[in-house]
Structure 1
Amino acid sequence: MHMHDHDDDHHHDNHFSPMEARVRALETILTEKGLIDPEAIDVIVETYETKIGPRNGARVVAKAWAEPDFAAWLKQDATAAIASLGYTGRQGEHMRAVFNDGETHNLVVCTLCSCYPWSVLGLPPVWYKAPAYRARAVMDPRGVLEEFGVTLPADRKIRVWDSTAELRYLVVPERPAGSEGLDQEALADLVTRDAMIGTGLALSPEARA
């Protein structure tokens, strides 16, 4: 892993914690001995990236959709609101929730390294760490969104939020039409990881089905 020249707060993402280091070492040994298939590891990682990890965030969003009081708390003090559901960051980092609406679409990037809200979104996707995403999300957010298949109305403002080691962002996507009768677990099924980064939208109930 190469080091960055930025301030020390950003180095934490480039060091494995002792637990991660052990897992990586074990992975390497087991793979070399032919005991596990690297593709099987990829499946596990993919599950944490797209299913298990982001489920926490999806529940936060679903609760905000269903409960106006919780949405207000999330807007005012996201760190505390999210912690009330048992999801807290490992470095004690603060969270801020930004809400998409008819006027503004929010997009999250970390230009300095790859700070990411692990506690609500699990593992960061590979593209989130890529220099191309980190540079272009700031310079051409509309173009980046179109590459992710998200075409917004021309009058919709796009606001880009830059994560740091101290402050990480969770995008609360707009609640999709047709989701009125769903309970919170079913609502959470509509919330994708990409929607909570801002590179996607929440799924409609038909799309989920």
Structure 2
Amino acid sequence: MPHDHDHSHSLLPPDPALRVRALETILTEKGLIDPAALDEIIDTYQSRIGPQIGAEVVARMWADDAFRQEMLTDPMPRLQDMEMYGRQGEHMVFVENTDAVHNVVVCTLCSCYPWPLLGIPPGWYKSDAYRARVVREPRAVLADFGIVVPEDKKVRVWDSTAEIRYLVVPQRPEGTDGMNIEGLAELVSRDSMIGTGLAKAPTA
């Protein structure tokens, strides 16, 4: 988280995506990985385990205050009951955006991320630039994502670790009264649960 020798690296193309593909090809040819199994793992985290799982939890928190309080206090028992936990999500903490505080999550050491609830982390989350800058100048980084946080609103940065992973509960958009959980979940994006985005406004 956060190598063979340098001469091995020199055989790989410079683009990260091409490097990954080249490594996959080499490992497959050596019989060290099964491409079908790899595809299954990727599909699981992209399609069946992904941001939509976390979005459903956030939507339920918006709609049910008792559930919201439970998740903000100690989410793990309920997440286990709902089978929304597992490797990379053994100990979750939910932090809530309010009129006074905007939360954003980073992993400064490597790329710790709540896979069971958010799926595969985006490339920028693992980048050195994001990991370093969001701690030093969170408002500037948020502005790069299109979020301008008022000066009178606090920005709180949460550093995920191997032991604890954080999920941001974005503020519920106006005009969503009466919407069901399925409709509310569609307003919750992956970035809004990292803190680098906001919940989407409902369409007319």
TM over 0.5: yes
What does 1:1-209 correspond to in 2, within 5 Å?
28=25, 53-90=50-87, 93-206=90-203
Shift of 1:27: 5.7
Residues 185 and 192 of structure 1, relative CA distance in 2, 3 Å threshold: same
Shift of 1:96: 0.2
Q: Which amino acid aligns with 2:50?
A: G
Give me the identity figure in percent.
Answer: 58
Unaligned runs of 5+ in 2: 3-20, 30-37
TM-score, scaled relative to structure 1: 0.76
Residue 21 of structure 1: aligned partner: none
Residue 17 of structure 1: aligned partner: none
The alignment's C-alpha RMSD in Å is 3.1
Query: How far apart are the structure 2 equivalents of 1:71 and 1:126?
Result: 30
Query: How far apart are the structure 1 equivalents of 2:148 and 2:46?
Result: 24
Q: Which amino acid aligns with 1:171?
A: V
Unaligned runs of 5+ in 1: 6-23, 33-40
Q: Which amino acid aligns with 1:198?
A: G
Instruction: Tell me how many residue pairs correspond in the alignment.
Output: 177
Residues 63 and 53 of structure 1, relative CA distance in 2, 3 Å threshold: same
Residues 186 and 92 of structure 1, relative CA distance in 2, 3 Å threshold: closer
